[in-house]
């Protein structure tokens, strides 16, 4: 079997940066290193990080109260993950009395900055994304109560009259073509709307690489990553949109070797939270197939 690995497979720079920040504290003996919710959406990598003294507290959406060791304040640190958080959540975490380090992805920080700037100017904000995703929950905190989340045309049609001052951004991991289609629909309702394409470069690269795998002759694609990882799930969806069989796995152990073994050329890609060691294991297992 010929195995073609997508160039963009694996950690994006924002996730890698957050991991490096947490690990640097752990290496310096700052235990425990708390993260508000899972640092990344990959169970296997979280197990590795837990073994290094990095502890997840709170919940996936960064909404619940957190429990920290009462006697650990002197050495412990609280790290904000790459998804970012709302201003209210930031103040709450700082009130815990631990050293605070914000590891929000700079790309997400730019989105938050655009939302905050325009909200202060009186704009209503429309966010294309998943209302339950922690990135969107965090961004909504900057809208000053004038934020709306949309995921399809019906949501735009159901919006109330937002006036002349409307801006639109996107969760960083969405499909580019869907964003453009919805932006056009929004402008049909609010012609003066300001539209900012805030889908991050790493997401666009992964989406482009799926198309490239098809062009390179891949007959099927294995997508590696957590089943709760937004960008991984979208990669799997994109493979199917390209008309290719998709095998979404978290580890090499989940590979259906009999099914994937029917193909001569198979592509491999992975979400932004998937560590290289998992990708290496999947590629090695596929390469063993005749």
Known catalytic residues are 135
Residue by residue, DSSP assigns the chain as -EEEE-TT-S--HHHHHHHHHHHHHHHTT---EEEES-SSS-HHHHHHHHHTTEEEES-TTS-S-----GGGTTT-EEEE-TT---HHHHHHHHTT-SEEEE---HHHHHHHHHHHHHHHTT-EEEEES-TTSHHHHHHHTTSTT-EEEE-SHHHHHT-----S-EEEEE-TTS-HHHHHHHHHHHHHH-TT-EE-----HHHHHHHHHHHHHHHTT-SEEEEES-TT-HHHHHHHHHHHHTT--EEEESSGGG--HHHHTT-SEEEEEE-TT--HHHHHHHHHHHHT--
Q: What angle do CA 125, 129, 133 make, to 5 degrees?
A: 110
Q: Extract the tokens encoding 162.
A: 């937002």
Q: Is residue 105 within 8 Å of residue 68, measured between CB atoms?
A: no
Task: Report how far residue 41's alpha carbon sits from residue 200's, in angstroms, rounded to the nearest whole number.
Answer: 17
Nearest to 23 by CA among 122, 138, 15: 15
């Amino acid at each position: 079997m010929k195995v073609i690995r997508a160039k963009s497979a694996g950690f994006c720079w924002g996730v890698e940066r957050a991991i490096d920040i947490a690990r640097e504290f752990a290496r310096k003996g700052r235990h425990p290193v708390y993260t508000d919710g899972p640092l990344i959406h990959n169970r296997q990598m979280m197990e590795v990080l837990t073994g290094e003294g990095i502890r997840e507290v709170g919940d996936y959406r960064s909404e619940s109260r957190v429990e920290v060791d009462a006697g650990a304040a002197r050495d412990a640190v609280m790290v904000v993950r790459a998804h970012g958080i709302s201003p209210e959540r930031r103040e709450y975490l700082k009130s815990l009395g631990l050293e605070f380090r914000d590891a929000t992805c700079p790309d997400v920080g730019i989105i938050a900055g655009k939302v905050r700037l325009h909200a202060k100017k009186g704009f209503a904000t429309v966010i294309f994304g998943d209302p339950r995703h922690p990135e969107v929950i965090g961004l909504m905190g900057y809208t000053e109560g004038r934020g709306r989340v949309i995921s399809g045309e019906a949501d735009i049609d159901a919006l109330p009259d937002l006036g002349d001052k409307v801006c639109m951004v996107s969760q960083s991991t969405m499909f580019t073509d869907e964003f453009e289609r919805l932006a056009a629909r929004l402008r049909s309702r609010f012609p003066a709307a300001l539209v900012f394409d805030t889908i991050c470069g790493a997401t666009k690269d992964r989406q482009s690489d799926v198309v490239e795998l098809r062009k390179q002759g891949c007959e099927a694609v294995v997508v590696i990553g957590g089943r709760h990882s937004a960008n991984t799930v979208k990669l799997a969806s994109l493979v199917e949109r390209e008309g290719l069989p998709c095998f979404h796995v978290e580890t090499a152990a989940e590979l259906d070797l009999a099914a994937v073994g029917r193909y001569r050329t198979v592509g491999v890609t992975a979400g932004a939270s998937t560590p290289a060691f998992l990708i290496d294991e999947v590629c090695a297992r596929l390469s063993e197939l005749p």
